Amino acid sequence: MTFLVLSLTLTSADVGTDAARGLVEKAVRAQGGLDKLTGATFSHIEGNFDKNSRFQGEVFSQPGGKLRLNLDFKNEGPRTLVMDGSKGWLKFQGFVQEIDRGMQERLRVSTHVDRVCGLTALLKNKGYMLAPLGESNVDGKPALGVKVSYADMPDVSLYVDKESGLLVKVAYRAKQPFNEQMELRETYYRDYRAIDLSAADEKIVKQAGLGSDGPALLAHLRANTPDDATRKQVKQLIVQLADRSFGKREQASAELGKLGLKAAAALREASRAADPETARRAENCLRRLRESPAVHALAPAARLLVKRQPPQAVEVLLDFLPWAPDEDAGRAAQDALVLIAQAAKEPNPALLRAVKDANSTKQKAALAALGRDGGDYLKTPGRRLNYDGLRLPHHVVFFRDGRKDMEYRTTRYEFYNRFDDALFRRPE
């Protein structure tokens, strides 16, 4: 009886709102839980405008209205659009200009639509009003619609595939760029795929001729970590780069080249030496090392260890980190240590020992992994995040009043805690 009375008190609007909200919740679940995406997103895209204006580019997106879009057009060259809240700039053919009010308004609307398409804001922000639109047909399959209303913004219609629950279409009306006439804008989301962040890393590792299983990954990092004797040898050879004898300088360069990536960290420091001959020769050695497939496989190998987690992964990463040949490999090793530590039930003994290590790099890495650095590392921009189970569209098509305007395919997704603020500053 109580249930019957409560049901009778519900209005049709209440029922409609609940049904629309349930459909949005289903769409979030279908994509693997978009509520996980609380940080920044990077994607690489390839597409075209009007069939003949091809481009490829990078998209950096971060909560708070931060966006950087780098597009390189085949026939027109590069363009950069930067948005930072209400401010924005456009760079084209070397000139930088602030976007005008008209473009600001268009971007404000498109940002709103992007937020709606992100779905999770509809469930968290009470300012969004949801209403069911009933069933329709999208790409030849039945879809259920939801109208999204928000103050001072155009209504947005979302269409969710009836069977899978995936968002397949978005439609809204907005002003055309160069006049006050309204037009219908429709976006179709196709080719959903499960995001496998390790697939690209595995490909790089295999292209370097290496195995991607746990033992092979550890072996690759060990092979490029100098022991005490090698570090002593490298130090002596770098001193020899400034020898008065041309022959000895040549010999030192050749020996450093044979040591490969084990000498890279010391060479990076030597490339900044005050002695011009030492700096020049060190940089020449580094240039040759950068061409090696092995160096490009180090960061992917460190990231894959998070997924494989073989025994001794922490010890190997700690030993490798101080001698990482470049910033990318060092960051990947540090991130891996933090992620492995976060997944563990108890602190790893190797991390506890490293807290007292004489090497300051190992010491700081262990403190960060154990969360004993005051949270400094977790706040550092550029920290890559792992999101398993997400399904995102790889093919997006835009229409304006029924005419195809643009389409693109996403070739890579990456996720971060946040980007450095410098990325969104006015381009010079």
Tens digits of per-residue pLDDT, 123-162? 988 899 999 999 999 999 999 999 999 999 999 999 999 9
**Least reliable range by pLDDT among 98-102, 143-147, 164-168, 232-236:** 98-102
Write the CA distances from 410 to 9, 57, 189, 367, integer angstroms: 48, 10, 11, 37
Give the pLDDT confidence score for residue 243 in this predicted structure. 92
Give the pLDDT confidence score for residue 15 in this predicted structure. 58
Q: Which one, of 267, 271, 210, lies nearest residue 234 by Cα?
A: 267
Whether the CB-CB separation of 82 and 427 falls below 8 Å is answered with yes
More confident residue, 182 or 38: 182
* pLDDT above 50: residue 7: no
CA distance 98 to 91: 9
Q: What is the mean pLDDT of residues 154-183?
A: 92
* pLDDT above 70: residue 365: yes
Question: What does the mean pLDDT of the chain come to?
Answer: 90
Q: Which one, of 321, 262, 329, lies nearest residue 289 by Cα?
A: 262
pLDDT band at 231 (very low <50, low <70, confident <90, very high): very high
Domains of the chain, CATH where assigned: 17-195+389-424 (2.50.20.10), 198-379 (no CATH)
* pLDDT above 70: residue 2: no
Give the pLDDT confidence score for residue 5 in this predicted structure. 37
Q: What is the mean pLDDT of residues 364-391?
A: 89
Whether the CB-CB separation of 211 and 300 falls below 8 Å is answered with no
Bridging pattern class, strands 403-416 and 167-175? unpaired
CA dihedral 158, 159, 162, 167 (to 10 degrees): -80
Residue 262: φ, ψ to 5°: -65, -25
pLDDT band at 222 (very low <50, low <70, confident <90, very high): very high
Give the pLDDT confidence score for residue 270 in this predicted structure. 93
Give the pLDDT confidence score for residue 103 in this predicted structure. 80
Q: What is the pLDDT of residues 287-322, one digit of tens each?
A: 998 888 888 999 999 999 999 999 999 999 999 999
Give the pLDDT confidence score for residue 219 in this predicted structure. 94
Give the pLDDT confidence score for residue 54 in this predicted structure. 92
Give the pLDDT confidence score for residue 263 in this predicted structure. 93
* pLDDT above 90: residue 420: yes
CA distance 240 to 97: 51
Q: What is the mean pLDDT of residues 329-342?
A: 93
pLDDT band at 100 (very low <50, low <70, confident <90, very high): confident
pLDDT band at 1 (very low <50, low <70, confident <90, very high): very low
Q: What is the 3-state secondary structure (H, E, C) of the chain?
A: CHHHHHHHHCCHHHHHHHHHHHHHHHHHHHCCCHHHCCCEEEEEEEEEECCCEEEEEEEEEECCCEEEEEEEECCCEEEEEEEECCEEEEEECCEEEECCHHHHHHHHHHHHHHHHHCCHHHHHCCCCEEEEEEEEEECCEEEEEEEEECCCCCCEEEEEECCCCCEEEEEEEEECCCCCCEEEEEEEEEEEEECCHHHHHHHHHHHCCCCCCHHHHHHHHHHCCCCHHHHHHHHHHHHHCCCCCHHHHHHHHHHHHHHHHHHHHHHHHHCCCCCHHHHHHHHHHHHHHHCCHHHHCHHHHHHHHHHHCCCCHHHHHHHHHHHCCCHHHHHHHHHHHHHHHHHCCCCCHHHHHHCCCCCHHHHHHHHHHCCCCCCHHHHCCCCECCCCCCEEEEEEEEEECCEEEEEEEEEEEEEECCCCHHHHCCCC
Give the pLDDT confidence score for residue 14 in this predicted structure. 56
Q: What is the mean pLDDT of residues 397-413?
A: 93
Across 252-262, b (16+ Cβ under 10 Å) vs e yields bbebbeebbbb
* pLDDT above 70: residue 396: yes
Q: Which residues are paired to 136 by β-bridges? A: 143
CA distance 428 to 414: 26
Residue 214: φ, ψ to 5°: -55, -55
Give the pLDDT confidence score for residue 368 in this predicted structure. 94
pLDDT band at 172 (very low <50, low <70, confident <90, very high): very high
